[in-house]
Amino acid sequence: MSERVVLSFHEKFRQYDLGEGHPFRGDRFVDAMKFFRERGLLNLPNLMVIEPRPASKIDLLRVHDEDYVDLIFRLASENRSYDIETPVSNQILEAVLLIIGGVLECGRAVYSGEAGRGISLGGGFHHAGRNYGGGFCLFNDVAILIECLRVNGAKKFLVLDYDVHAGNGTSDIYYCDPSVLFISIHQDPRTIYPGTGFTWQIGEGEGKGYNVNIPLPPGTGDESYLYAVKEIFIPLAEEFKPEIIIANGGSDAHFADKLGDLSLTARGFFKLSSLIRETADKVCAGKLVMLIGSGYNPEVLPICWHALVAGAIGLQSFDLKEPYTPPIEPPFIRRKVQGVVEELRSLLKENWRCFK
Ligand SMILES: [Zn+2]
C-alpha cells in the first residue's frame, strides 16, 4: 500500500463563492490551506499538493443528462441562479469544474496505486442528481468519480457521506444499483434540508439493501455519532468489501456550525476520519478518497478540516484547541441513536449477514 497522499487544491477554488450573505463562501479553501501550512500539515514528506485540471463535459455526461448540463452552462453564461440558494456564473462554473477535476485526479491516483489516499478540498456536491441541482450543488462529483473509475475497471464502491445533510442526489443516482453501497449519516431529515434520508429508504430492486441512511437526532455528540459509525458502517464495509471508499462531507456536523444541529467536535472529526482510514486499510488496501467541502462556521472550519485531513493521513494524535466549549450530550440522545441502529439492523438483516 502506498503511503503517499495527494491533496488537490487550486487558487481558483475560491471562485466557488455563492455571494455575500450566502453561507458558502469561496475563501474557505484558501483559509484552510493557510491554516494547514501554518501548522506544518503540508510539510509532511509523503503529502503532495496537486493543482488539478478542469473536468470535461464528457466527465459530467457520465452521470448527468445532456439537457441538464447544457442548462447549467447556459445559466452560467447568463449569470443566473439555478434556484434560490444555488447561483451560477462563469466563475462559479470554472471553479466547479476544477474541483471535480481534483476529485477525479485524486481518485485516479488512489485507484491506480500511485497514492494511498486522495484528499480533495472542495467536492462532495451530494445534493445534485442526474437532472437536477440544488443545495449549493450543480454536478454530483461523487457519482462522476465513481463512473470515471468504472471506466477504468472498478466494480465495487462504498460511499460514506458524513455531511450533516443527507446525500439525496447520490442516493437517487444509485438507489437501484448494488455496485455502490451508499451510507449516509446525517441529522434527522425531519429537522433539516433536504428532508429525505430516512431509515426505510434502503434502495430498490437489485439495489435493495445498498442504500443506508443513519439519521441522528439534533444534539448528537461525538460518542453517540461514532457508536453509530462503528455499528453500521464498519460491519457493512467488512462484508461488502469495496475496491475503494469515497467519503464526503466537511465540518457542517460540528456543534458550532450555523446550518446544522449535530454536535461533533474537531476531535470527533479526527476520530471519524481515523476510523474511515482504518476501515479502508482493512477492507480495500487503504484506497480512500476524501472529499472535504462543507462547513458554515468559518471559525471552526479550518480546525475541523485539519482534523479530517490528519485522520485520513494517519497522524496518531490531534490536539488543536477549539474556540468554543462543546455542549454536553443529553442522555436521551444515546437511547435514540441506539434505537436508530437497532431499526437499521432489522431493516437490513435480509440483505446483510452481519445484521442477522
Ligand atoms: Zn451539508
pLDDT of residue 19: 87
- Reply yes or no on whether 127 is catalytic: yes
Residue 62 per-residue DSSP state: T
Q: Which tens digits make up the pLDDT trace of 45-62?
A: 999 999 999 999 999 999
Residues 211-250 as b or e (16 or more Cβ within 10 Å = b): bbbbbbbebbbbebbbebbebbbbebbeebebbbbbbbbb
Q: Which of 10, 64, 127, 306 is catalytic?
A: 127
Residue 108: CB atoms within 10 A of its CB come to 18
Of the chain, the percentage scoring pLDDT greater than 70 comes to 100
Closest CA to 25 of 249, 247, 294: 294
Question: Tens of pLDDT along 90-119?
Answer: 999 999 999 999 999 999 999 999 999 999
For the chain, helix, strand, coil in percent to 5 are: 45, 15, 40
Residue 114 CA to ligand 1 centre (angstroms):
30
**In whole angstroms, what is the distance from residue 356 CA to residue 345 CA?**
8
194: cis peptide before it, omega within 30°? yes
Distance 249 CA to ligand 1 centre (A): 7
Q: Which three cell numbers stand for residue 118?
A: 486522495
Q: Tell me if 205 is assigned to some domain.
A: no
**Number of domains present in the structure of the chain:** 1
Centroid of ligand 1 to alpha carbon of 99 (angstroms): 17
* Cα separation, 245 vs 239, whole angstroms: 13
Structure confidence by residue, pLDDT tens digits, 259-301: 999 999 999 999 999 999 999 999 999 999 999 999 999 999 9
Q: Name every residue whose Cβ is closer than 8 Å to that of residue 73 and which is 6 or more positions away in sequence.
A: 93
Q: Which CATH number do you get for residue 62?
A: 3.40.800.20
Q: What angle do CA 329, 331, 335 make, to 5 degrees?
A: 115
Task: Give residue 25 CA to ligand 1 midpoint distance, Å.
Answer: 14
User: Taking residues 134-163, what's their average pLDDT?
Assistant: 98
Question: Is 250 inside a domain boundary?
Answer: yes
**Is residue 335 in a domain?**
no
Q: Which residue has the cell 461523487?
A: 142
Query: What's the CA-to-centroid distance between 164 and ligand 1, angstroms?
Result: 5
With residue 38 as reference, give the H or E element that holds it.
helix 27-38
Any domain includes 97: yes
Beta bridge partners of 183: 160, 212
Q: How far is the CA of 231 from the centre of ligand 1 (A)?
A: 23
Cβ neighbors of 323 (< 8 A, separation 6 or more) are: 256, 299, 300
Give a yes or no: residue 154 inside a domain. yes
C-alpha to C-alpha distance for 7 and 121, rounded to whole angstroms: 7
187 occurs within a structural domain: no
Q: For residue 183, how far is its CA from the centre of ligand 1 (angstroms)?
A: 15
Q: Which amino acid is at 184?
A: S
Range of the domain at 30: 5-176+241-319
Q: Tell me the CA end-to-end span of the chain in Å, nearest whole number.
A: 33
Q: Ligand 1 centroid to 260 CA: how many Å?
A: 8
- What band does 199 get if pLDDT is binned at 50, 70 and 90? very high
Taking the C-alpha atoms of residue 96 and residue 63, their distance in angstroms, rounded to an integer, is 15
Is position 251 within any domain?
Answer: yes
Pick from 173, 213, 160, 161: nearest CA to 190: 213
Neighbouring-strand partners of residue 132: 129
Q: Look at residue 193 and give its three-state secondary structure.
A: coil
Domain contains 261 = yes
Span from the CA of 219 to the centroid of ligand 1 (angstroms): 16
**What pLDDT band is residue 221 in, cutting at 50, 70 and 90?**
very high
Query: Can you give the pLDDT at residue 26?
Result: 92
Its sign, for the CA torsion 234, 236, 241, 246, is: negative
pTM of the entire structure?
A: 0.98
